[in-house]
Structure 1
Amino acid sequence: MLDVDVLKVLANDKRLAVLEWLSDPVAHFPPQRDGDLVADGVCSVFIADKLGVSAPTASEHLRLLTASGLLRSKRIKQWTFYQRDEARIAEVKRALQEGW
């Protein structure tokens, strides 16, 4: 069964954009000094910049995506990096395809 909170998280164009960009981080983000784009994820600073929002606003979007299990976070030094949780995304897609 699909959790209604996941649907609420997905009902936002900025969060959907983040999920799309993180599906191919090398194509959507510049190289990072700390952390590999693929292995470690994308720094929240780059995500906020690409979204065109403040760091606190981006942080809230990323928090919701992480709380729903669609993203995983990783700390490196003082930065937080995000990457998709492909298993959870596949689970949500299956639940959406199966209907209610």
Structure 2
Amino acid sequence: MALCIGVAQYDDESLQPLPVVADEVAIMRGALVESGFAEAEPLVGVCTAAEVRDRLRTLEVPEPGRVLIYWTGHGLSREEGCRLLTTDSRLDQLDEETC
């Protein structure tokens, strides 16, 4: 089981859109399926933190369980740790709810 997430659009105007993530997710999904992953679910475009959390919670992992999560989109590294940014992330209000 794999989940391929590509965040292409951001509400925060200081974060540039990333139109190539749809292509990146498609390429990765193809490579994963070719490598033996039975499923490689896509989540592409507008991806809010709630949508990402919901998708992670509802993944049905077959036994024996293994999950690969592929992420393409903006992220940042700060002293307090690294963050993957979702569509609704705001750089002036980083918290557990939005990234």
Superposition TM-score, scaled by structure 1 size? 0.27
Identify, as 1 or 2, the structure richer in helix. 1
- Structure of greater Rg: 2
- Identify the structure with bigger relative contact order (alpha carbons < 8 Å, sequence gap 6+): 2
Superposition TM-score, scaled by structure 2 size? 0.27
